[in-house]
């Protein structure tokens, strides 16, 4: 009985391990409309900065309509550029150290981080 339990555990864990290592097309949201387009540029930047900081991203405004955001967990680091105007924003991958990336496909965790950032920005823009 003990031996069968040992062989069962690896077979149960294998799908979880494979799922964690799967990739998908790179998620780079483009021209996403803010919830409220009637916001001044400085307030728009503040909304984006609050959204990213709230998720643990390090945010840095590098130009009037551009923010660089980075996030690191262990050996994984994501660096993205968030360009924006009064009505829309886009998120572009700059670096993804520690994530498997090839031929436009990236590990799902990177896409999840970007999706969470996008959702947080949209939530801040509706406050």
pLDDT at 117: 98
Q: Where are the domains of the chain?
A: 21-125
26 contact partners, CB below 8 Å, separation of at least 6: 93, 101, 104, 105, 106, 110, 111
Cα–Cα distance between 40 and 15 in angstroms, integer?
A: 48
Name the helix (H) or strand (E) containing 50.
helix 41-54
Superfamily assignment of 21-125 in CATH? Kinase associated domain 1, KA1 (3.30.310.80)
Q: CB burial class (10 A; 0-12, 13-18, 19+) of residue 39? A: middle
Per-residue pLDDT of the chain (127 residues; tens, 9 = 90+): 455 445 544 555 544 454 455 889 999 999 999 988 888 888 999 999 999 999 999 999 999 999 999 999 999 999 999 999 989 999 999 999 999 999 999 999 999 999 999 999 999 998 7
The 8-class DSSP code of residue 80 comes to E
């Amino acid at each position: 009985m003990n031996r069968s339990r040992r062989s069962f555990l690896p077979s149960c864990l294998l799908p979880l391990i494979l799922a964690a290592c799967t990739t998908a097309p790179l998620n780079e949201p483009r021209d996403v409309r803010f919830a409220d387009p009637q916001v001044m540029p400085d307030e728009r930047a503040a909304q984006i900065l609050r959204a990213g900081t709230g998720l643990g991203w390090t945010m840095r405004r590098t130009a009037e309509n551009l923010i660089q955001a980075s996030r690191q967990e262990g050996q994984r680091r994501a660096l993205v550029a968030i360009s924006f105007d009064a009505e829309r924003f886009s998120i572009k991958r700059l670096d993804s150290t520690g994530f498997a990336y090839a031929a436009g496909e990236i590990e799902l965790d990177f896409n999840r981080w970007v999706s969470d950032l996008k959702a947080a920005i949209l939530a801040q823009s509706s406050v």
